[in-house]
Copies of this chain bind each other. A is one copy, B any other.
Amino acid sequence: MIKTFYKTLLICLFLSIHNICSANDGYKLWLQYNYIEDSDIRDNYLSHLNSVQYFGDSETINVIKEEISLAMKSLFGNDYLKNINKNGLIIGATSNLNTKILKKLKNEISNIQKDGFVIKQVKIGGIKQIVITAKTDIGVLYGTFNFLKRLQTHQSIDKINVIDFPKVDIRMLNHWDNLDRTVERGYSGFSIWDWHRLPNYIDTRYKDYARANASIGINGTALTNVNSNALILTPHYIEKVKAIADVFRPYGIKVYLTARFSAPIEIGNLETADPLDENVAKWWKDKTAEIYKEIPDFGGFLVKANSEGQPGPQNYGRNHIDGANMLADAVKPFNGIVMWRAFVYSEHDPDDRAKQAYSEFVPYDGQFRDNVLIQVKNGAIDFQPREPFHPMFGAMAKTNLMMEFQITQEYMGQGTHLVYQPKLYEEVLKADTYREGKGSFVAKVIDGSLHNKKITGIAGVANIGTDINWTGHHFLQANWYGFGRMAWNPYLKSSDIAEEWIKMTFTNEKAFVKPVKKMMVSSRETVVNYMTPYGLHHIMATGHHFGPGPWVDNLSRPEWNPVYYHKADENGVGFNRTNTGSNATAQYASAVKEIYNNIETTPEIYLLWFHHIPWDYKLKNGETLWNGLALKYQQGVNEVEEMKSTWNSLKKYIDPQRFKEISMMFDVQLNDAKWWRDSCLLYFQQFSKKPLPKGVEKSKITLEYFKSLKFPFAPGN
């Protein structure tokens, strides 16, 4: 009997080691809860975890129980709750804890802000209890995930005493998902929102999506594309949205929808969508009430208006204030918000595209309702591998202004290149706007501290799709994770985030964590090197933006052509945005303006963003611009080769499926990096008329071939 028993045991050990029970397909993201093999660490944890007491009764407390049980059984197996002693966990909101416990936490509790939490070890009647508490059950959920992360990453919990809280109010994902399940700029399959089967069939993914987001503090999701379809606001779809909202609610995630400005005409049978027309205003009020009736905690609307052909108030001779405030008034009674995007540029405006959002919006400062947030992309063009921070940050002291990052990699290798984006987010958030003098960091605009804003927010355009591993490339899960962490706290170091993600997702093995962290942290600079070094930008092939296309010059709108952005000619390359050029620099605070107006003080990473420079210009490293560019492209390729060999050297630390899939992705990335290097250098060489410097590989392929490449069904287009 015993023999058969242990025989039975042996199997699963065997299986688990060999990943046969189930090869790791990455579906579990960073919530792997890998069994803790190290018995010292395990036993130490277990000595604190002999019981769990939950206080409070809510859907959120129930999902906390589920998560704790899932995690503990996975981390500790049968050893969990084996009662070596009386030490245990206490989990619940302050309002549900008894005074004996509360006394021990007086100071900490008084310091809890918003949905923040406390995790503290206290002694009650000689028994060590780790208390996870907060003012709200959602705060308790965040504290629970924080605690579980410490176990996953093998951190000490002896005498634990942690206080943390979100520094930004609205931390959300924007899904550019269409109702036909295609995803604009989506590179990991199709939309996870299975509208046809909703509301009666609830895909298991919805709950796992909510768990993953709650684990990093994300508290909002805009389900639909900013290029919106009015049908999402019809009853047929509202009941489907409600079904999703019901799944998300216990996890503290609010649902938002994109509002097509012309909806009153398309589904409301009105003749106009003029925001000052009272029937239009009434239609939106009624529609909003209809939505809140089904979804009492509906978050509000995200709007792309008068941008890239989308309808908006300007179609009726009105402005963004008229449009945004009309919608704001509709959601106000329900404490809803309106996120109005500042991503606007017009083919009729001959001015530098980089200047148009600022020119259109900054004059409106102070005129938007207090439940409106203006959503601004991190840079003034469009999610490039590198852009200077957007001049609007800090420029609207009397307006709620939120950040829009792109997690999906429209311009950064799309679904197949390892680019650890939190490094980019960090660069932007740390940038100094000088709006209130030195130290006026973008992060202070986003957390509202610079001009003490009423509501703060940060949005990331999701990279999530139906691929089993959610993001196509396993490593791109880290960008979802990292975005959430920095939305919670814009002052975090991206390298620290990378380390915790690696440990949770793969292993705590030092020999694996160190090189992989190094690879991730440098990967963003690598993509800049092989795509757009020295401030080059928007030279991707047009439409699908897949691969290089610096030669494209035949599109209807000038600012859609790469040649508009690099302006390469025999005299040099780059976009003069200084006071001698488009004067976009004038949109920055004077301290910043002066830095960028002067080629000597402009950081070389932004050189060609702000200046048109001769090919033989001497870089700080002594190389000519042409040689410097060529060397950067080559360096990018070399760095991908290093990443690839680093990864292939780590095979023994990782399950075969993820190892192989990631390994194939590096092959793709290396091919693409060479494609970028070769085609861009061949193209620019036509103007520089200079040979490649030593150390730069010569292309074996002609520029004509690169120009001839077509990708008729490239995804995300």
* A residues 569-628 touching B (CB-CB < 8 Å): none
Q: Choose among B4, B6, B204 the residue that contacts A25 (Cβ–Cβ < 8 A).
A: B204
Residues of B within 8 A of A20 (CB): 70, 73-74
Residues of B within 8 A of A179 (CB): 712-713
Residues of B within 8 A of A202 (CB): 664
Q: Is A652 interfacial (CB 8 A cutoff)? A: no
Q: Is A276 interfacial (CB 8 A cutoff)? A: no
Q: Say yes or no: A668-B4 contact (C-beta < 8 A), given A13-B9, A179-B713.
A: no
Q: Say yes or no: A79-B9 contact (C-beta < 8 A), given A197-B415, A667-B200, A668-B197.
A: no
Q: Is A39 interfacial (CB 8 A cutoff)? A: yes
Residues of B within 8 A of A190 (CB): 181, 189-190, 466
Q: In the bound complex, do residue B14 and residue A21 qualify as a contact, i.e. CB atoms below 8 Å apart?
A: no
Q: Say yes or no: A201-B668 contact (C-beta < 8 A), given A190-B189, A712-B179, A713-B180.
A: yes
Q: Is A231 interfacial (CB 8 A cutoff)? A: yes
Q: Is A557 interfacial (CB 8 A cutoff)? A: no
Q: Is A665 interfacial (CB 8 A cutoff)? A: yes
Q: Say yes or no: A15-B73 contact (C-beta < 8 A), given A10-B9, A200-B667, A415-B197.
A: yes
Q: Is A437 interfacial (CB 8 A cutoff)? A: no
Residues of B within 8 A of A710 (CB): 236
CB-nearest residue of chain B to A709: B236
Residues of B within 8 A of A76 (CB): 11
Q: Say yes or no: A10-B78 contact (C-beta < 8 A), given A25-B27, A202-B664.
A: yes
Residues of B within 8 A of A35 (CB): 8, 11
| Chain A interface category by residue count | 35 or more
Q: Is A62 interfacial (CB 8 A cutoff)? A: no
Q: Is A22 interfacial (CB 8 A cutoff)? A: yes
Q: Is A16 interfacial (CB 8 A cutoff)? A: yes
CB-nearest residue of chain B to A672: B200
Q: Is A127 interfacial (CB 8 A cutoff)? A: no
Over the window 3-34 of chain A, the binary record of Cβ atoms lying under 8 Å from chain B Cβ atoms (1 yes, 0 no) is 01011111111111010111101011000000
A485 to B713, CA, bound (A): 35
Q: Say yes or no: A201-B16 contact (C-beta < 8 A), given A9-B10, A11-B35.
A: no
Q: Say yes or no: A21-B22 contact (C-beta < 8 A), given A6-B6, A78-B7, A468-B468.
A: yes
Q: Is A449 interfacial (CB 8 A cutoff)? A: no
Q: In the bound complex, do residue A195 and residue B415 qualify as a contact, i.e. CB atoms below 8 Å apart?
A: no
A691 to B96, CA, bound (A): 60
Q: Say yes or no: A13-B18 contact (C-beta < 8 A), given A201-B664, A466-B466, A712-B231.
A: no
A70 to B22, CA, bound (A): 11
Q: Say yes or no: A6-B9 contact (C-beta < 8 A), given A189-B466, A712-B231.
A: yes
Residues of B within 8 A of A668 (CB): 197, 200-201
A661 to B472, CA, bound (A): 24
* A residues 71-85 touching B (CB-CB < 8 Å): 73-74, 76-79
Residues of B within 8 A of A555 (CB): none
A85 to chain B, nearest CB (A): 17
A73 to B20, CA, bound (A): 8
A711 to B196, CA, bound (A): 8
Residues of B within 8 A of A25 (CB): 27, 204
Q: In the bound complex, do residue A15 and residue B12 qualify as a contact, i.e. CB atoms below 8 Å apart?
A: yes
A715 to B193, CA, bound (A): 13
Q: In the bound complex, do residue B12 and residue A416 qualify as a contact, i.e. CB atoms below 8 Å apart?
A: no
Q: Is A714 interfacial (CB 8 A cutoff)? A: yes
A4, A25, A196: most-surrounded residue (chain B CB, <10 A): A196
A105 to chain B, nearest CB (A): 32
Over the window 652-680 of chain A, the binary record of Cβ atoms lying under 8 Å from chain B Cβ atoms (1 yes, 0 no) is 00000100110011011001000000000
A416 to B27, CA, bound (A): 24
Residues of B within 8 A of A70 (CB): 20
Residues of B within 8 A of A8 (CB): 13, 35, 37, 77
Q: In the bound complex, do residue B416 and residue A197 qualify as a contact, i.e. CB atoms below 8 Å apart?
A: yes
Q: Choose among B7, B27, B714 the residue that contacts A79 (Cβ–Cβ < 8 A).
A: B7
A153 to chain B, nearest CB (A): 19
A271 to B15, CA, bound (A): 61
Q: In the bound complex, do residue B12 and residue A77 qualify as a contact, i.e. CB atoms below 8 Å apart?
A: yes
Q: In the bound complex, do residue A18 and residue B201 qualify as a contact, i.e. CB atoms below 8 Å apart?
A: no
Q: In the bound complex, do residue B77 and residue A11 qualify as a contact, i.e. CB atoms below 8 Å apart?
A: yes
A611 to B200, CA, bound (A): 39
A172 to chain B, nearest CB (A): 24
Q: Can you report 26 residue pairs joining A to B where beta carbons are below 8 Å apart?
A: A6-B9, A7-B39, A7-B79, A8-B35, A8-B37, A9-B9, A9-B10, A10-B77, A11-B16, A11-B76, A12-B77, A14-B77, A15-B73, A20-B73, A22-B22, A22-B28, A27-B468, A190-B190, A195-B713, A196-B714, A197-B472, A200-B671, A201-B416, A201-B667, A204-B657, A466-B467
State the 5 A-B residue pairs at the shortest beta-carbon distance, nearest first.
A11-B77, A12-B12, A9-B9, A10-B78, A22-B22
